[in-house]
A and B are shown apart, each in its own frame.
Chain A
Amino acid sequence: MIRFALCSAYMALIYAFIFLPVAVLALFSFQDGRFPIPPFRGFSLRWHAEVLADADLIAALVNSLLVAVASSALALALGFLAARAVATGALRGAGMVRAAITAPLSVSYLVIGLGLLASLNLMGIGLSLGTVAIGHVVINTPLCFAICSAALGPATANAERAARDLGAGEIRVMALVTAPMIMPALLAAFLLSVTFSWDEFIIAFLLSRFDVTLPVEIWSLLRSGLNPKTNAVGSLVFMLSALAVLAVELAAARRK
């Protein structure tokens, strides 16, 4: 009994540690007053309404969605194709290729962002949402590659072989056999990429100019001081991320 109580308390503490900041953030987004700090003065939807009325914020939100979906789709396509090439075993030095593709996972986003900034300058490419998307493709391709690689195995290889035997060319093998067989993994990779792109600040900050993504817009909002409106944006963003993660979990559960 004591053991159970201790375990429960421990678990409650862990969850509190993880979720308290978010809960506080969300709570004070409903603050009826000008400062998002205790004491809580009463419940108001005023700040949420203000967020939705802010054209810059909404534009940034749309930009973020665009960048997230486009960059994730591209990262998934690249990761899937690379994973398939490595999985067939026909590639010479597949181990090296695998290492080279996954290595960027361990490089800091700041370094990737600075590197991209320098490269884009060198190539004379102006900064835009497109360059932000390129940055996000760079960070998400290794992730998509790793998830797709894990899903490809003897079962998919054998089914692909059977499809070829029955007359399918490589494109139809991929479209009709490989991709449907690992659909849950493809979905998981895509949604994880979307959440990473959605939250990503430093690359988006370094590689954008006039059109910015939501995290960059929030950052500029923060520079003018704390305000329950930032809390409201934060809790909205958190909700969207949470929904995406939930979708990933559901996709993964369907695979089992």
Chain B
Amino acid sequence: MTARIDISAVTRRYGATLALAGVDLTVEAGAYCVLLGPSGCGKSTLLNILGGFADPTSGAVRIGGRDMVGVPAAARPTTTVFQDYALFPHMTLLDNVGFGLRMRGMARRARQSRAAEMLALVGLDGAGARRPADLSGGQRQRVALARALAVEPDVLLLDEPLGALDLNLRRVMQDELKRIQRSVGATFVHVTHDQEEAMAIADRLVVMNAGRIEDQGPPERVYRAPASRFAAGFLGEMSFLPARVQAGRAVTALGVLGGPQTHPEGTRMIACIRPEHLRIGPGPALGPIDVLDTVFMGAHRKVRLRARAAPDVDLTALLPADTAPGPDLAIDAGAVTLLPDNGDTT
């Protein structure tokens, strides 16, 4: 029904390019894990390695404690919801959903009733006699999900399952996915490049870039206290302000930010400032500012501004619609994350 995933030191090389560069990842049984990253970051390669469609060049993959390297896809306790759904066009929905059960030798009558249950689970009851060509994109997505879940996999792999849907449908389906995951209990591993989707669904969020894991953990932790500059910039909006350690404190052009620092005196750091860290309240004030741009967003006003004290950095503030940006805007210094500046600018 469900299984834990252990990935250790997995690399994957395609010719001269390194798609995965030593990935370690553990996903608890029954968790909803989302792999998030830009295209080419290695997240799909990692999913293929879990599903049995690619082998790691080196490293170990275990599902439920069993070594998976070299085990063909057909023999793994995983199933996949493919990006293009890959439904069987010549079969009815019942036969599509029942295909995996047929491969496991279940009798026709039994698998048809099970397939009908699965279709009901994804909200397509009574559509069993239709064919994939008769369905909308969202419906196909549901059939692909039902088909993959019908065999009760320990681990369900989802390769950008919502990528082809329009925005509204995507938001509906992501809630649906979460509900279904809770009800079947399997471990879900979901690949996406949509950070909003990732934060909404994940129990465990894994941010990837250039074949490495940049950060992993509960979405709230990753958002509030990202472990790397890439993770900070990829998830939500972030402004980066240079800092330097002085007397155990990170000092920036806008004052002391973050908590006490253990790095040696003079270490260069980066302060990561979220739009919501700028508000009228306690903390170092911005002082005189120049407003570059204001966007009305209904409940909020998004203001792009520059503090005269730190003229090289554009800051973004989300202000209540009736608050005008002014010199009394202050930084919520305790919420700001500080990262060592190792010179990379991504």
Contact = CB atoms under 8 A, between A and B. Distances in A.
Interface of A: 155, 158-159, 161-169, 172, 176-177, 180-181, 183
Given A159-B89, A164-B72, A181-B89, 13 more contacts: A155-B89, A159-B86, A159-B87, A162-B80, A162-B88, A164-B73, A165-B78, A166-B79, A166-B99, A166-B103, A167-B74, A167-B100, A177-B88
Interface in B84-127: 84, 86-90, 99-100, 103-104
A163 B82 contact: no
A168 B90 CA distance: 17
Contact of B84 (A158, A166, A181): A158
B147 interface: yes
B104 A161 contact: no
Chain B, interface size category, equals: 20 to 34
A165 B74 contact: yes
Nearest to A172: B103
A162 B82 CA distance: 8
Contacts of A181: 88-90
* Interface class of chain A by DSSP: helix
A168 B74 contact: yes
Nearest to B90: A180
Given A165-B51, A167-B103, A168-B103, A159 B88 contact: yes
B320 to A, nearest CB: 49
B53 interface: yes
Contact of A161 (B78, B86, B99): B86
A161 B87 CA distance: 10
Contacts of B147: 162, 166
A115 B151 CA distance: 54
Lowest 6 CB-CB distances: which A-B pairs, in order? A166-B100, A167-B103, A162-B86, A158-B86, A180-B90, A167-B74
Given A158-B84, A161-B82, A172-B103, A166 B90 contact: no
B79 A163 contact: no
Nearest to A162: B86
29 contacts: A155-B89, A158-B82, A158-B86, A159-B86, A159-B87, A159-B89, A161-B53, A161-B86, A162-B80, A162-B87, A163-B88, A164-B72, A164-B74, A165-B51, A165-B52, A165-B53, A165-B73, A166-B74, A166-B99, A166-B100, A166-B103, A166-B147, A166-B148, A167-B74, A167-B75, A169-B74, A172-B103, A181-B88, A181-B90
